[in-house]
Amino acid sequence: MTELATRAQAFGLVAEGVATGLSAPWRLYLARGCRYLSISVGDRTEWDAWRTHLGCPEVSVRVYDAGGEIRRSSVAEVVLDGCRISVELVEEVSTDDLDRLLVAEPTPTEPEER
């Protein structure tokens, strides 16, 4: 694929990822003119897999209050052939787990078995 000039090419990029074994995103948004594609995934493992597949080096994390629930939004973006592609994960977190709010990549809560 040399250019993301059409909707079919943008969706083809996502289909290619799913064909390689990635979980299908739960939401896709393709802006008019195909200059912005947003992929929303369900958990951190899917987010990391899509980030790796697309080569997204840029990451931002935002924590916010959504009507009494605290949410953490992690976004990774890359520009391919003039099309900005973002992979987003929104997680609900609680105040009991404050470390998770600020750490870019949370550590497992249970120790690994050896």
Residue 33's domain is classified under what CATH number? 3.30.460
CA distances in angstroms from 51 to 35, 42, 58, listed in the order given = 18, 13, 9
Q: Determine, yes or no, domain membership for 111.
A: no
Sign, CA torsion 13/14/15/17: positive
pLDDT-derived band at 82 (thresholds 50, 70, 90) equals confident
Q: What does the pLDDT read at residue 35?
A: 75
pLDDT-derived band at 112 (thresholds 50, 70, 90) equals very low
By percentage, how much of the chain surpasses pLDDT 70?
72
Stronger pLDDT, 40 or 31, i.e. the higher one: 40
- Domain hosting 54: range is 7-60+75-90
Q: Domain total for the chain? A: 1
Q: Determine, yes or no, domain membership for 106.
A: no
Q: Determine, yes or no, domain membership for 81.
A: yes
Q: Determine, yes or no, domain membership for 97.
A: no
pLDDT-derived band at 19 (thresholds 50, 70, 90) equals very high
Q: Per-residue pLDDT averaged across 53-69, rounded?
A: 81
Q: Determine, yes or no, domain membership for 82.
A: yes
Which of 58-62, 71-75, 98-102 ranks highest by mean pLDDT? Answer: 71-75
pLDDT surpasses 60 at 1: no
- DSSP letter at 104 equals S
pLDDT surpasses 90 at 107: no
Residues 6+ apart with CB under 8 A from 30: 7, 10, 11, 36, 37, 38
